[in-house]
Each structure stands twice: as C-alpha cells, then as structure tokens.
Homo-oligomer: A and B are copies of this chain.
Amino acid sequence: MDGTNRSFIITLTTDFGLKDAFVGVLKGVILSINPHATIVDITHGIPQGDLDAASFAVDQAYTFFPPNTIHVVVVDPGVGTQRRILLVRAKEHYFLAPDNSVLRYIFVRHPEAEVISVTNEKYFLPHTSQTFHGRDIFAPVAAHLSRGVPFHTFGETITDYLKGDIALPQKTENLITGQIVYIDHFGNCISNISKNDFDPEQLVEINIKYFQFERLSHSYAEHQVAEPLVIFSSHDYLEIAVRDGNAAQFLNIKKGEPIEVVLSETS
C-alpha cells in the first residue's frame, strides 16, 4: 500500500452468524497483528454458504469505504480442500476471499483487477486448521496487509480464478426481462434492472408474478400501508416493496423471480 494514503480499515463479510465466538476470534487475530486496525462488520448473517448473498453484500458496501480498505469475505464451503484464497486489488480496493466466485461483482466491475493466489505461509497463523481458515489465514493475511506488507508478497499472480456469473437483464427495444437477485431484511425485492437500462419516460408497465405496476414511486410513504410499489433502490435498481410491510412475503416473491419492464416505442 501507499504509505501516504494508508487505510487501516478491514471489513468482514461472513456466514458465521453471531451466536458463537467465531467473529470475535477473527478480530482478536487481526488486532494481535495490527492493534491499530479499524474493523467493520459488513454482515455475518449471510446464509450458510450462500455465495449469491455474500457477493451482493460486498458489492453494496465496498464503494462506500475509504481507499485501501481491505474487504475480507469468508463464505467458504470449500475450506480445507485445495481451493485457493484470492487477494485482489481493484483500483484502490482490496479484497480477500476464497476462489469460489464470491467476488463476481468485483471482477465484472473491475476487469483490470490484479489477483494473487495467497500462498505465503509466513503470514498465516503457525497452526492452520482444516475448518477455520478465516481465523488461520484470512484474518492474519488481512492484518499483515493493513500493516503495509506489500501486495505481491502474499503469493503469485494468477488469471485462472473463478470469475463467476452475474445475471444480466435481457433487452429488446420494448422489453427488458430481468430477475429478483436479492431480498433484504425488510422483504424488499431487488432486481437486476438498473436505472441505466431504460428511460422512465418510456415506461408502460412493470410486471412481476400477477402484479402490474404502471408507474415508479418516489417514496414508500406516498402509498397506503400494505400497498405494493416499485421504486429505484438505493443502488438504482428496480425494487419491489410494500409500504410498512414485507414484499417478499406479501407477494410471495423469491430470489430468481422474473420481472419485466415494458417500454413504449422510442419517440
């Protein structure tokens, strides 16, 4: 890292939950190596092994952190196998994650990213278990990186890592077909159709399941309680919501549900 622009922030995204000591242990390891690190939890509520949810969480968060923040993602069903561990530098962002496509959004947004296979055991804990590489490898590597150990010290550059896929919407002149890619805590259903995918002036209707919406809302509260609506999410994707309610439950929408946007002829 550039010493003049150093960040000591390390973020954590895991499926560890909060009932055990796992997350505390990661922090103990990090602070043992870099007592000045600032550690921020993105979430530890990723469902067990859910790479979709983890990749989405990281994508929602990383641009809001200062340069040189290190984003550690431990959703790692392959722990203990030969799967590799990736250290990634993409613009001013660092990521440390298993080689299982959990960084798929990062690789799409940053095709220029440099990727290292982390192999330098000098930066691991002395005793490496078969089941908790978060503690034994991810945490100490992140902590050493945050202390200024140079990027290329941790292993060799690779290009054959798992990039993974992102479901992109299909577009014709009058129709965009996408899908729900994430359902949040409030039951809001986030699609993969972005504000950039169409001109709202041309909107005829939005269809999902048996529901049809003819306009985009500007706030939840302009609706009656329990009324469904479509709004641009905080990341500018189409979102199905229900005022003061849970859209996923009320409308029985699940991840993967198709959604279509019908547009008028281009003027």
Residues of A that sit less than 8 Å from B by CB = 7, 9, 11, 13, 16-25, 27-29, 31-32, 35, 38, 40-46, 48-49, 56-58, 60-61, 64-66, 69, 77-81, 83, 129-132, 135-136, 184-186, 218-222, 231-236, 239, 243-244
Chain B residues, CB < 8 A from A41? 23-24
**Is B64 within 8 A of A29, CB to CB?**
yes
- On whether the beta carbons of B77 and A220 are closer than 8 Å, the reply is yes
User: What's the nearest-Cβ distance from chain B to residue A249, in Å?
Assistant: 12
Find chain B residues with CB under 8 A from A234 CB.
129-132, 135-136
How far, in whole Å, are A221 and B185 apart by their CA atoms in the complex? 30
Are A61 and B185 interface neighbours, CB within 8 A?
no
Contacts of A65 in B (CB 8 A): 28, 31-32
**A48 and B186 form a contact (CB under 8 A):** yes
Closest to A35 in B: B66
Report the minimum CB–CB distance from A232 to chain B (whole Å). 6
26 contacts between A and B (CB under 8 A): A9-B28, A9-B35, A11-B28, A19-B184, A20-B184, A20-B185, A21-B42, A21-B43, A21-B56, A21-B61, A24-B40, A25-B60, A25-B64, A27-B40, A28-B65, A28-B69, A32-B66, A35-B66, A64-B135, A77-B221, A78-B221, A79-B221, A80-B218, A80-B221, A130-B234, A136-B234
If over half of A's interface residues share one DSSP class (helix, strand or loop), that class is named, otherwise mixed; here it is: loop
Closest chain B residue, CB of each to CB of A232: B130
Chain B contacts of A43 at CB under 8 A?
A: 18-21, 23-24
Q: How far is the CA of A16 from the CA of B60 in the complex (A)?
A: 14
Q: Provide the residues of chain B in CB contact with A49, threshold 8 Å.
A: 244
Residue pair B45, A18 in contact (C-beta under 8 Å): yes
Contact B233 A131 (CB under 8 A): yes
Distance between A9 CB and nearest chain B CB, rounded to angstroms: 6
* CB of A5, distance to nearest CB on chain B (Å): 11
Give the distance to chain B from A67, nearest Cβ to Cβ, in Å.
9
Distance A129 CA – B60 CA, assembled complex (angstroms): 14
In the complex, A31→B37 CA distance in Å? Answer: 13
For A232, what are the chain B residues with a Cβ–Cβ distance below 8 Å? Answer: 129-131
Contact A42–B24 (Cβ < 8 Å):
yes
Which residue of B16, B44, B80, B235 is within 8 Å of A220 (Cβ)?
B80
Q: Please, how many angstroms separate the alpha-carbon atoms of A244 and B15 in the complex?
A: 12
Are the CB atoms of A239 and B80 closer together than 8 Å?
A: no
**Which B residues touch A66, using CB under 8 A?**
28, 31-32, 35
